[in-house]
């Protein structure tokens, strides 16, 4: 097992990884920007190294500075967390070239899944259901029109290098194709430096359902159930739950086994998430995230697994040591992402936390790096806390969340707590009756 792990991240996920390491007897190295000198992950880590000024490109994305910090502190391994360098194949490669273990998949797997056309081809080859559409990139208007004809409108044009919902254009009829195909290419080139696009059938009322996987380096792979992340605003998840209110036991088992089997065929290692759109009882692969995700705690709550620990264990070469049948799901879990933002207009709201009181009690978990007196810096993501509850069933989670949100005090800044409170009073949400478009209507973004 590793003796020292460098955590190449900040905020709650840096703390989450630190906690997993400490419980395993591993010492930790925090890296931080000058804006994060007082951050909780820096205070708790065994050692801390400042790696640059506030802008991410000069600190949390500064590969040379991070590798130097790992060298001078004598770390054995680097955990990238999520965001920042976590899905940067070049970084993973450089980490390994410098003799450290990258706590994540191989650079090849990261690269493969980062290119959406390749990812979709591999998904199909390994037996996962994909959205019907073009076989590869669509390089002319004539080809685009032919695809539209073949699969039927509406279709969606998507950037092969895409991410964060950018470079996507809906095409409702042949008359819209030329302009929207060109717009998608222009956007893709501007955002990702690669104009290639592909085309898929557009699903009108899907849910976003993703499968958590966990694989070792000995060919073993298990799934840790699904998460329903349909509640999104501008492609950002707001609240997630496990299991999905839309699936039954048989569907869960079938898609889970399909995905675990695909991971074995791919020889994937570490944790990962395979994202699907789900409509009328069918799953359609959209992408795979090759890292630990923000919403991983809800899968931990229903499975009893510590996914961060498992990730570190398998990265050190340890075998899983259990099979699919050993994983038993119990109850229900919901996570609310709490952002430092105005709950009405969603404007970021960084600033000093004057009072802080986190909720507690039975089956309530708060993953956050906040404390009273801490200043939320304006330079990074606005997510400041995750409130996670577990219950014997969904209704118990809803009761517990209402209670816990009411107890949560984050003074001095505006947060999205009131949005979650409003959501928890809504009949559609209470009934589990929502798709990926629902939240934007609820917050008045679309009608």
255 by DSSP, 3-state: which? Answer: helix
174 or 321, CB closer to ligand ADP?
Answer: 174
- Residue 134 CB, nearest distance to ligand ADP (Å)? 12
Q: What is the β-pairing status of strands 155-159 and 168-171?
A: antiparallel
Q: Does 287 bind ligand ADP (CB under 6 A)?
A: yes
Angle ∠(331,335,339) on CA atoms, nearest 5: 175
302 three-class SS = helix
| 406 touching ligand ADP, by CB under 6 A | no
In angstroms, the CA 216 to CA 219 distance is 6
Distance from C-alpha of 243 to C-alpha of 330, rounded to nearest angstrom: 10
Residue 152 makes contact with ligand ADP by CB under 6 A: no
Q: Which is nearer to ligand ADP, 119 or 305 (CB)?
A: 119
For 395, the token pair is 């209704």
* Beta carbon of residue 386, minimum distance to ligand ADP (angstroms, whole number): 20
Q: Which window, 62-70, 162-170, 305-313, 321-329, contacts ligand ADP (CB under 6 A)?
A: 162-170
- Binding residue (CB under 6 A) for ligand ADP from 202, 268, 283, 429: 202
Assess 239 for contact with ligand ADP (CB under 6 A): no
Give the residue ranges of DSSP H helices in 98-166.
107-114, 116-125, 141-151
Q: 12, 386 in Cβ contact below 8 A?
A: yes
Query: Which range binds ligand ADP by CB under 6 A, 91-99, 157-165, 315-323, 368-376?
Result: 157-165
DSSP state of 3: S
Task: Give whichever of 163 and 343 is closer to ligand ADP, judged by the CB atom.
Answer: 163
Pick from 41, 79, 208, 337: which binds ligand ADP (CB under 6 A)?
208
If binding is defined by CB under 6 A, does position 286 make contact with ligand ADP?
yes
User: What is the per-residue burial (b if ≥16 Cβ within 10 Å, else e) of 334-371?
Assistant: bbbbbbbbbbeebebbeeebeebebbeeebbbbbbbbe
Tell me if 228 sits within 8 A of 440, measured CB to CB.
no
- From CA 270, how far away is CA 278, in angstroms rounded? 25
Q: Is 162 in the site for ligand ADP (CB under 6 A)?
A: yes
**Residue nearer to ligand ADP on the CB measure, 24 or 191:** 191
Residue 163 near ligand ADP by CB under 6 A: yes
- Comparing CB distances to ligand ADP, the nearer of 131 and 417 is 131
Residue from 235, 248, 395, 426 binding ligand ADP (CB under 6 A): 235
CB under 8 Å to 347, separation ≥6 — which residues? 341
| Catalytic-labelled residue, pool 291, 365, 394, 400 | 291
Q: Whole-angstrom Cα distance, residue 247 to residue 364?
A: 25
Residue (200 or 310) nearer to ligand ADP, CB:
200
Among 48, 156, 211, 298, binds ligand ADP (CB under 6 A): 156
Q: Which of 200, 228, 295, 300 binds ligand ADP (CB under 6 A)?
A: 200
The answer to whether 169 touches 180, Cβ cutoff 8 Å, is: yes
Q: How many residues bind ligand ADP (CB under 6 A)?
A: 19
Under DSSP, the state recorded for 348 is: B
**For residue 243, cis peptide bond before it (omega within 30 degrees of 0):** yes
Catalytic site residue 16?
A: no
Scan for tokens 């976590």, then name that residue. 86
- Which residue in 164, 317, 361, 418 binds ligand ADP (CB under 6 A)? 164
**Which parts of this chain interact with ligand ADP (CB under 6 A)?**
131, 156, 162-166, 168, 200, 202-203, 206, 208, 235, 275, 277, 286-287, 436
Q: Which residues are catalytic?
A: 291
């Amino acid at each position: 097992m590793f003796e020292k792990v460098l955590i190449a991240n900040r905020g709650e996920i840096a703390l989450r990884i630190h906690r997993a390491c400490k419980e395993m007897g591993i010492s930790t190295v925090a890296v931080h920007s000058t804006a994060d000198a007082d951050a909780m992950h820096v205070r708790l880590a065994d050692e801390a190294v400042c790696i640059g000024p506030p802008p991410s490109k000069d600190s949390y994305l500064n590969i040379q500075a991070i590798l130097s910090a790992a060298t001078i502190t004598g770390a054995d391994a680097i955990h990238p967390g999520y965001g920042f360098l976590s899905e940067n194949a070049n970084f993973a490669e450089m980490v390994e070239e410098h003799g450290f273990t990258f706590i994540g998949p191989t650079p090849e797997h990261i690269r493969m899944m980062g290119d959406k056309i390749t990812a979709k081809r591999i998904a199909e080859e390994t037996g996962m259901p994909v959205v019907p559409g073009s076989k590869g990139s669509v390089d002319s208007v004539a080809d685009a029109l032919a695809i539209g004809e073949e699969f039927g409108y509406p279709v969606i044009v998507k950037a092969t290098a895409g991410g964060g919902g950018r470079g996507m254009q809906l095409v409702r009829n042949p008359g819209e194709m030329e302009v929207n195909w060109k717009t998608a290419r222009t956007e893709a080139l501007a955002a990702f430096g690669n104009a290639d696009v592909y085309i898929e059938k557009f699903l009108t009322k899907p849910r976003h359902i993703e499968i958590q996987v966990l694989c070792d380096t000995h060919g073993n792979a298990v799934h840790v159930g699904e998460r329903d992340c349909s509640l999104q605003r501008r492609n950002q998840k707001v609240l997630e739950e496990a299991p999905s209110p839309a699936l039954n036991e048989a569907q869960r088992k079938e898609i889970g086994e399909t995905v675990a089997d695909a991971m074995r065929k791919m020889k994937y290692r570490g944790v990962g998430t395979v994202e699907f759109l789900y409509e009328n009882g069918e799953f359609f692969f959209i992408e795979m995230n090759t890292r630990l995700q923000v919403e991983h705690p809800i899968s931990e709550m229903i499975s009893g697994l510590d996914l961060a620990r498992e990730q570190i264990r398998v990265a050190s070469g340890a075998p899983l040591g259990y099979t699919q049948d050993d994983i038993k799901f119990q109850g229900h879990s919901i996570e609310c992402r709490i952002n430092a933002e105005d709950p009405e207009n969603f404007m970021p709201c960084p600033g000093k936390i004057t009072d802080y009181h986190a909720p507690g009690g039975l089956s309530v978990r708060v993953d956050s790096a906040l404390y009273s007196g801490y200043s939320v810096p304006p330079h990074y993501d606005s997510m400041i806390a995750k409130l996670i509850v577990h219950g014997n069933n969904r209704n118990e989670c809803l009761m517990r969340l209402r209670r816990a949100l009411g107890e949560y005090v984050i003074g001095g800044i505006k947060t999205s707590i009131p949005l979650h409170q409003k959501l928890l009073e809504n009949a559609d949400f209470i009934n589990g009756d929502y798709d990926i478009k629902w939240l934007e209507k609820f917050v008045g973004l679309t009608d």
